[in-house]
């Protein structure tokens, strides 16, 4: 395994939650200062393609990453007020996916986007 991939995996494994590309690059710089930022981006793309890392597109064009691990595929919601990301069960939108398929022949894959709303704390 290449040094950039190893450093990215270490950064993700030692930090809870979902990390932005910038947060991962910063963590990698501390773990392996010799790894160039461009190599971090390439490693993230490769690890995502391999299914080791999952990415999710957040509001305003941001992307967050996390290890796939034992959780398997799942959905995400992001609080539009505090930015908190919540993992959701993969089958949450099955009814919506079935309806989209029936009406439009569309196969929904919502694992790479975050639903937007308010978390319980911000809604209170």
d(CA 47, CA 117): 29
pLDDT in tens, the chain (124 residues): 899 999 999 999 998 788 999 999 999 999 999 999 999 999 999 999 998 998 898 877 789 999 987 667 789 999 999 989 998 998 999 999 999 999 999 999 888 889 999 999 999 8
3-class secondary structure, 108: coil
Ordered structural domains, the chain, with CATH: 3-67 (1.10.10.10), 75-123 (3.30.1490.190)
Report pTM. 0.79
Supply the pLDDT for residue 93. Answer: 92
């Amino acid at each position: 395994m290449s040094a950039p991939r190893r450093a990215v995996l270490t950064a993700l494994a030692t930090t809870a939650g979902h990390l932005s590309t910038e947060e991962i690059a910063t963590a990698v710089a501390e773990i392996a200062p010799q790894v160039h930022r461009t190599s971090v981006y390439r490693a993230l793309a490769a690890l995502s393609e391999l299914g080791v890392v999952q990415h999710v597109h957040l509001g305003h064009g941001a992307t967050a990453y996390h290890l796939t691990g034992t959780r398997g595929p799942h959905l995400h919601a992001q609080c539009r007020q505090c930015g908190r990301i919540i993992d959701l069960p993969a089958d949450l939108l099955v009814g919506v996916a079935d309806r989209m398929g029936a009406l439009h022949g569309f196969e929904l894959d919502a694992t790479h986007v975050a639903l937007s709303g308010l978390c319980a704390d911000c809604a209170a």
